[in-house]
Amino acid sequence: MSNSSFQMSSFTSVDDKLVMMGETQVTFSFSSAYATTILVEVWTEDDQGASYSSSQTTATDGVNEPSLTFDDFPPSANLHYRITVTGEDGSENTVQVSIDW
């Protein structure tokens, strides 16, 4: 299992790729002192045969640490993801992100 962790805010989306080595599940976990809404979009590369696209939404409230799990993608496909955070105007809206796959 692999892991990636980073901080982000509502100022810009994070758009990247996960190289899958037979994994069949990826989990995005979030922690924030701010009230935010988080959208995670996941999709496969077009040239890998099996097409997959999914999105899920969650929220932070300064207390809970929500997570989103995707597990219905083709096992041999690399996954692209985009994480978008929205929050209160004028706030930093910083979110700690952890991805496990």
Class of CATH domain 3-100: mainly beta
How much is the pLDDT for 39?
98
Q: Where are the domains of the chain?
A: 3-100
Q: What are phi and psi of 48, to 5 degrees?
A: -100, 15
More confidently predicted of 76 and 12: 12
What is the pLDDT averaged over residues 22-45?
94
Number of Cβ within 10 Å of residue 70's Cβ equals 19
What is the pLDDT averaged over residues 25-44?
96
Q: Could you tell me if 93 and 52 are in contact, meaning their C-beta atoms sit under 8 angstroms apart? A: no
Task: Categorize the per-residue pLDDT at 28 as very low, low, confident or very high, splitting at 50, 70 and 90.
Answer: very high
Q: Could you tell me if 9 and 60 are in contact, meaning their C-beta atoms sit under 8 angstroms apart? A: no
What does the alpha-carbon distance between residue 53 and residue 16 come to, in Å, rounded to a whole number?
15
- One-letter amino acid for residue 32 of the chain: S
pLDDT, tens digit, for every residue of 58-81? Answer: 999 999 999 999 998 887 788 999
pLDDT tops 90 at residue 51: no
